[in-house]
Amino acid sequence: MTSSPVKIAASEAPDQPDSSPELEALYRGFEAELLVPLWTEIGDLMPAHPRSKALPHLWRWADLLPLAAESGRLVPVGRGGERRAIALANPGLGGRPFATPTLWAAIQYLNPGEDAPVHRHTQNAFRFVVEGEGVWTVVNGDPVAMRRGDFLPQAGWAWHGHQNATSEPMAWIDGLDIPFQYAVDASFFEFGPDAVDNTETPARSRSERLWGHPGLRPLTHLQPTPATPLLAYRWEHTDRALDDQLALEKEGVTATLGPGHAAVRFTNPTTGGDVMPTLRTEFHRLAPGTETATVSEVGSTVVQVFDGMGSVTVGEHSWSVERGDLFVVPSWQPLTVRSEGGLDLFRFSDTPVFEALNLNRRQEATR
Amino acid sequence: MTSSPVKIAASEAPDQPDSSPELEALYRGFEAELLVPLWTEIGDLMPAHPRSKALPHLWRWADLLPLAAESGRLVPVGRGGERRAIALANPGLGGRPFATPTLWAAIQYLNPGEDAPVHRHTQNAFRFVVEGEGVWTVVNGDPVAMRRGDFLPQAGWAWHGHQNATSEPMAWIDGLDIPFQYAVDASFFEFGPDAVDNTETPARSRSERLWGHPGLRPLTHLQPTPATPLLAYRWEHTDRALDDQLALEKEGVTATLGPGHAAVRFTNPTTGGDVMPTLRTEFHRLAPGTETATVSEVGSTVVQVFDGMGSVTVGEHSWSVERGDLFVVPSWQPLTVRSEGGLDLFRFSDTPVFEALNLNRRQEATR
Amino acid sequence: MTSSPVKIAASEAPDQPDSSPELEALYRGFEAELLVPLWTEIGDLMPAHPRSKALPHLWRWADLLPLAAESGRLVPVGRGGERRAIALANPGLGGRPFATPTLWAAIQYLNPGEDAPVHRHTQNAFRFVVEGEGVWTVVNGDPVAMRRGDFLPQAGWAWHGHQNATSEPMAWIDGLDIPFQYAVDASFFEFGPDAVDNTETPARSRSERLWGHPGLRPLTHLQPTPATPLLAYRWEHTDRALDDQLALEKEGVTATLGPGHAAVRFTNPTTGGDVMPTLRTEFHRLAPGTETATVSEVGSTVVQVFDGMGSVTVGEHSWSVERGDLFVVPSWQPLTVRSEGGLDLFRFSDTPVFEALNLNRRQEATR
Amino acid sequence: MTSSPVKIAASEAPDQPDSSPELEALYRGFEAELLVPLWTEIGDLMPAHPRSKALPHLWRWADLLPLAAESGRLVPVGRGGERRAIALANPGLGGRPFATPTLWAAIQYLNPGEDAPVHRHTQNAFRFVVEGEGVWTVVNGDPVAMRRGDFLPQAGWAWHGHQNATSEPMAWIDGLDIPFQYAVDASFFEFGPDAVDNTETPARSRSERLWGHPGLRPLTHLQPTPATPLLAYRWEHTDRALDDQLALEKEGVTATLGPGHAAVRFTNPTTGGDVMPTLRTEFHRLAPGTETATVSEVGSTVVQVFDGMGSVTVGEHSWSVERGDLFVVPSWQPLTVRSEGGLDLFRFSDTPVFEALNLNRRQEATR
């Protein structure tokens, strides 16, 4: 039991009776029978609006990368530990490796010539590359090159391993729904081969050759799939789409979220919806001097600065940010971003969970 | 931090390097920067199959009802505490009022003449009546009678209060998705009037008069709604549907889940799907001597015995059960039920969450 | 070729060149190569709004029923002709048995002891009973009683036959999408046994025992189906639903389409949508003295007066109507109905076709 | 009336009674009351499988283009006639400008400097360019360049005009659902300005800049739309996608419909489904020497040869085909295509209509 009857009656639930032997016996009866009254818990359980235990927090790339490199020197990668991934642990979540109550975000590091062994799990995952190149993620036997700016989704239950095929180490960001699946007891996991099963290093993956043509769908694959079959969203496309939006805005066409604020969502070409059932992923570009609207949303978000400099306010916290920095936005905390000389941001969130369950809400602050 | 580097290196993650000053410095660096390595946590976070912290457990109606009645004598119901509801607290979940990691189940009790004040919340809810009558739930101003065997869904964000309009106390079961919305930070709550705003006591609610005719939809309400607009599923319909299935089975028509096992799902007439986005609710009838298949499912379930006697096995636990008893089935724990002289069961689960997110799995044991 | 070049150039397409040998040679070239210019046809093909060749028309029950009875005396029913059904032939549609360009409506007649042989077809169908009883429609082996006021849907490709199990003849209305499937070349047909394969005469069909309980779904049938599995929508439910709406209206609850205008749609309990993919079916009740709004809709409608008296205006046609009378409303023709002492109407339309293809439009006249 | 009672009784419906004065009176009664018996019509109305009045037919580009050019010399384009479009008139459809019972296909021709005036209509449309360039289609004010190999969809009710901004004439193919909307009375039409309202000639349209990036969706446009917002599917993407499929096939990856048969469907990026609610559009590439499976489908198809040479069999008709040739495949007629030195085909069909209404069927002949 986390709370005693006396404390509760006195403080949280109004109009409770004074303590008495009978009342104390009642509460002892609850404890004995594994029961807890609502009236002592409702304030915590049913707040007026989401009041996350997670806190806004910033991790600096300048701190993360050296620790990852040192791990590369000291800690092997292989079967059992599976990945040299180091996760953000939100200061409000008791030391668990959870960026937010639903989202996992980690820096992963692979030395030249190293393999991360093949496995699969129900967790949806992706990789995002803020710098470097040289690793191929092999998904169901399809090697997918990873390069700066690329977004690489990884549907739940797909076999996958990683291989560094170059002479340089490489680091990138992994995002998954581990905390969500952990909280709701949905996780399955299976080991595959200890080394990746296809060591080719093609510039374009099979999935891109099948699915990477805008608006064109192979007739061999006509059913909608819960997750995207396209395994790489390349930087040259993302970059050009964002530039196009800003140029269209200058021509007077509705193409940006607000003045100077271009944004694309990565989508599943078989449905037009999010790339994976639990994860939303987007790229935002703020022209120099742009400030976004201040928005609160149900669900949590992780943002990585891809390029540029700016400042960020999440609830009552504010930080200056630059390339590689990562910050989290807990549920319903208002977020505002300001660019200095231009700012490119990658963001992911659990919003599809709430949309699927009719629990999403969004509120824009009036300036 | 929940785990120290030494313990981890020694036990959980295989092939870890021996402890060394450099390695300890690395782990201290992780702690300082609020980072946690995957390789020390993967066994807990990513099990081969769901391994819930929740435990199978049984609560007996014979224990619950007297405690509820004593609460009725000692604890007032009113604004602030909101409801005289006493929740099942799963022994694996740290004393929180959570029947499972996602589901809330409570007995609620209202004295003659009492009101439970009006409020609304994003949590989806329902009431199920195992015995008694005399309370009207007032939903958005529509008074809905509650009687033995009735199932009364309550969509998130609907205003509602309860009123006991008789001279007898009444108890019933509340089911909600409180733990789920708490885990993912989705809860909103708002107070309404202190007393119910419509004290009429009609036999049929407005919602039943609009929506309670099989296959008929009012032309004023043609859009699908996320939750059912029908506020009462009456026992006479459920009872007859189950009897019909068992009779059809005898005529050789496919109508039962297995020999002697009739079952209906409560559905939203605007979609044919579950009554609410996060909750599945069903009624099962086992003819005398029937044993169900042994089934494991992702997600958790709460069952209340409505009538009859039988026995239940959940994982490694077995109990005899009778009217009013409640038990929980954590994720992926196999469930088998056996009826003696006939057994009627009400069950609810979080399965719609997993179906919406492509995370559902089901496995039937081969006998 | 329906049109000659000279006529066209002179009349329909403005600003056409004067006739000349070169121009006439061009048009002869079109004819020789099986080509037709748009500019001579656009006025007919692409009108400002739908301009149906079908005409508003009324068929009186007092005329239909004696001809059906005389057919019962003179014309056998059996394999080849399949049904003693006599179809409404819209006066604008060249003598074809098409009530509208998409809808078939016919009176069917069965003598005591007669069978209509078993067959199946892709056409969606239903029966509606304006008077009498005693025939069982046997659908996939399930005998379904037919009684005054009942609506009996019949999904495409279901085996079905009819049997008159009484000593009285019976007549009813068949509605199908024959003209639509004929126009778009979608029809398949297959013969079954020459006599119905189940001669039982139960009061409730199997389908009603499985599906006729409001909001309850058998766990053996959880997938959505394109057409309703419920084979009879009984008059007592329809009648009560309409009465409930009018009573709720008096209590100030939004339940009617307009003052005194109650209406229900027959729906598929597996989806909440229309009973069949191409057919919408509804029942309307107008309280004494009620006049409906004047509404134009894309698509065509057939209405049968079930009870009462009133008057109807379709475009520029007006009629007094009474029990059993049938009238058609071509696409986009405005419809107004007035009840005298109360009027009950059954109506069906092709609206689901247009909704599925984003072609539906609806316009309500301002009074 | 199309048929007399005597003829019917004698020939079509089996087991009909001999003619008699009473029977003839009955049939006269039917005629007088605008009724037609099913038993005389069922053979035509409800065939065992679709038996289209449309015939397989081939139109040669070598015949079409000169007639279009001569029209360009003799017939103006402007308000009233609207478009210099010359439609294929299926020899089985009574001289109407209908390629099939549901599909319109026409060659359109625009002289240097000419405009086709702005209008909109509910008909869904597209343009496909088999040769030439220089025209811009202006859709809701967005000028879209047209070049060989490009596919340009045009959702119903979008404003659009065309402008030839070069010194060469240009011809292309228009495909629409005119006959379908004509048959079901769904057509609306509205005139816009007499000249296109945006005479810019950009290489990329606004729609391509917003929507032409694979898997990327602008955050300003997150709702699914019934038709694609992407107004040009460029040849370089289609060509590359088909080449990629054939190369993947050689690597042993499932990417082609059959050996040597690459194919893509043009899709709506907001849904992953067909580009428009009534029209399916695809591009097929047959490697040298390839023969397709022989397939029958419900619904009709029009094919234009984009490049190469080959032969085609539709039902009992066979033709050699080359660049620009157009042929039609009526419902349920089996189609086989053989390439000689390689064959590129553009095809469109009405299949989405049948899929939306649960009427689609497909049958592949066993060789």
pLDDT of residue D16: 76
Do A and D have ≥3 inter-chain CB pairs under 8 A?
A: yes
Judge if B27 and B62 occupy the same domain. Answer: no
Does some domain include residue A86? yes
* Residue in A358, A361, A363 to test binding to B, most B beta-carbons within 10 Å: A358
Among A residues 251-270, those touching chain D with beta carbons less than 8 Å apart: 251, 253-257, 263-270
Contact call for D264 and A213, based on CB within 8 A? yes
Contact call for B264 and C218, based on CB within 8 A? yes
Judge if A70 and A162 occupy the same domain. Answer: yes
Distance from CA of A327 to the nearest CA of B (A): 12
* Residue in A2, A4, A28, A35 to test binding to B, most B beta-carbons within 10 Å: A35
Contact call for D50 and C123, based on CB within 8 A? no
Contact call for D216 and A237, based on CB within 8 A? yes
Does some domain include residue D145? yes
* Residue in B8, B18, B19, B46 to test binding to A, most A beta-carbons within 10 Å: B46
DSSP secondary structure code for residue B291 in this structure:
B
User: B21 touching A, CB under 8 A?
Assistant: no
pLDDT digits (tens, 9 = 90+) for A53-80: 999 999 999 999 999 999 999 999 999 9
User: A14 touching B, CB under 8 A?
Assistant: yes
Instruction: Indicate the range of A50-54, A76-80, A296-300, C210-214 predicted with least confidence.
Output: A76-80
Contact call for D264 and A228, based on CB within 8 A? no
Do C and A have ≥3 inter-chain CB pairs under 8 A?
A: no
Contacts of C83 in chain D (CB under 8 A): 38-39, 42
Contact call for C216 and B237, based on CB within 8 A? yes
pLDDT digits (tens, 9 = 90+) for B262-313: 999 999 999 999 999 999 999 999 999 999 999 999 999 999 999 999 999 9
pLDDT of residue C18: 86
Does some domain include residue A41? yes
Give A13's pLDDT tier (boundaries 50, 70, 90). low
Give A16's pLDDT tier (boundaries 50, 70, 90). confident
* Residue in D3, D11, D39, D59 to test binding to C, most C beta-carbons within 10 Å: D39
**Considering CB atoms only, which of C29, C101, C356 is closest to D185?**
C101
Among A residues 210-249, those touching chain D with beta carbons less than 8 Å apart: 210-220, 222, 224, 228, 230, 233, 237-238, 240-241, 244-245, 247-248
Q: How far apart are CA D248 and CA D128, in angstroms?
A: 27
Judge if C261 and C199 occupy the same domain. Answer: no
User: C62 touching B, CB under 8 A?
Assistant: no
Does some domain include residue A50? no
Q: Is pLDDT above 70 for C6? A: no
- Bigger pLDDT: B2 vs A214: A214
Percent of chain C with pLDDT over 90: 94
Q: Is pLDDT above 60 for B12? A: no
Scan for tokens 């504010």, then name that residue.
A318
Pairing relationship of beta strands A142-147 and A133-139 according to DSSP bridges:
antiparallel
Does some domain include residue B223? no
Average pLDDT over residues C331-349: 97
Contact call for D39 and C82, based on CB within 8 A? yes
Contacts of B253 in chain C (CB under 8 A): 206, 210
**Considering CB atoms only, which of C209, C241, C255 is closest to B216?**
C241
Distance from CA of A346 to the nearest CA of B (A): 20
* Residue in D217, D253, D276 to test binding to A, most A beta-carbons within 10 Å: D217
Q: C: neighbours with 3+ CB pairs under 8 Å?
A: B, D
Judge if D63 and D205 occupy the same domain. Answer: yes
**Considering CB atoms only, which of A57, A67, A122 is closest to B359?**
A122
Judge if D251 and D171 occupy the same domain. Answer: no
Q: Is pLDDT above 70 for C13? A: no
Measuring CA to CA, which residue among A96, A42, A300, A182 is closest to residue B96? A42
User: D11 touching C, CB under 8 A?
Assistant: no
Judge if B244 and B354 occupy the same domain. Answer: yes
pLDDT of residue D17: 82
Q: Is pLDDT above 60 for B4? A: no
pLDDT of residue B14: 57
Contacts of D354 in chain C (CB under 8 A): 184, 186
pLDDT of residue A1: 31
Average pLDDT over residues D118-131: 98
What stretches of B78-155 adopt beta strand conformation (E)? 85-88, 104-110, 115-121, 125-128, 133-139, 142-147, 151-154
Judge if B13 and B155 occupy the same domain. Answer: no
Judge if D337 and D316 occupy the same domain. Answer: yes
* Residue in A122, A357, A362 to test binding to B, most B beta-carbons within 10 Å: A357
Does some domain include residue A75? yes
User: C178 touching B, CB under 8 A?
Assistant: no
pLDDT digits (tens, 9 = 90+) for C91-122: 999 999 999 999 999 999 999 999 999 999 99
Among A residues 264-323, those touching chain B with beta carbons less than 8 Å apart: 277-278, 298-300
User: D18 touching C, CB under 8 A?
Assistant: no
pLDDT of residue C214: 97
What radius of gyration do chain C's Cα atoms show?
A: 23
Does some domain include residue C83? yes
Contact call for D214 and A269, based on CB within 8 A? yes
Does some domain include residue A14? yes
Distance from CA of A118 to the nearest CA of D (A): 21
Q: Is the ipTM of this complex over 0.90?
A: yes
Percent of chain A with pLDDT over 70: 96
Judge if A142 and A19 occupy the same domain. Answer: no
Q: B: neighbours with 3+ CB pairs under 8 Å?
A: A, C
CATH label of the domain that carries residue C321: 2.60.120.10
Measuring CA to CA, which residue among A96, A43, A57 is closest to residue A330? A57
Do D and B have ≥3 inter-chain CB pairs under 8 A?
A: no
Q: Is pLDDT above 70 for D141? A: yes
pLDDT of residue B1: 31
Q: Is pLDDT above 80 for B2? A: no
**Based on the structure, what is the number of domains in chain A?**
3
Judge if D193 and D74 occupy the same domain. Answer: yes
- Which of B211, B246, B277 represents a domain boundary (last residue)? B211
Contact call for A13 and B189, based on CB within 8 A? no
Do C and B have ≥3 inter-chain CB pairs under 8 A?
A: yes
pLDDT of residue B18: 86
pLDDT of residue A230: 98
Distance from CA of A223 to the nearest CA of D (A): 9
Q: How far apart are CA C71 and CA D162, in angstroms?
A: 59
Residue of A nearest to B357 (CA): A277
Domain that holds residue B348: 235-364
pLDDT of residue A7: 33
Judge if D191 and D245 occupy the same domain. Answer: no
Contact call for D82 and C39, based on CB within 8 A? yes
Measuring CA to CA, which residue among D352, D336, D278 is closest to residue D303? D336
Amino acid at residue number A187: S
Please return the burial class of D28, using the count of CB atoms within 10 Å of its CB with bins 0-12, 13-18 and 19+: exposed
Judge if C206 and C240 occupy the same domain. Answer: no
User: Helix, strand, or coil here: B70?
Assistant: helix
**Considering CB atoms only, which of C213, C222, C264 is closest to B218?**
C264
Give A18's pLDDT tier (boundaries 50, 70, 90). confident
What does residue C62 show for φ and ψ, rounded to 5 degrees? -65, -20
- Which of B145, B177, B211 represents a domain boundary (last residue)? B211
pLDDT of residue D6: 31
Contacts of B263 in chain C (CB under 8 A): 218-219
Residue of C nearest to B142 (CA): C253
Contact call for C26 and D84, based on CB within 8 A? no
Q: Is pLDDT above 60 for A12? A: no
Measuring CA to CA, which residue among C228, C177, C105, C139 is closest to residue D46? C177
Q: Is pLDDT above 50 for D4? A: no
Q: How far apart are CA C352 and CA C188, in angstroms?
A: 21
Distance from CA of D214 to the nearest CA of C (A): 26
Give D11's pLDDT tier (boundaries 50, 70, 90). very low
Give A17's pLDDT tier (boundaries 50, 70, 90). confident
CB C353 within 8 A of CB D357: yes
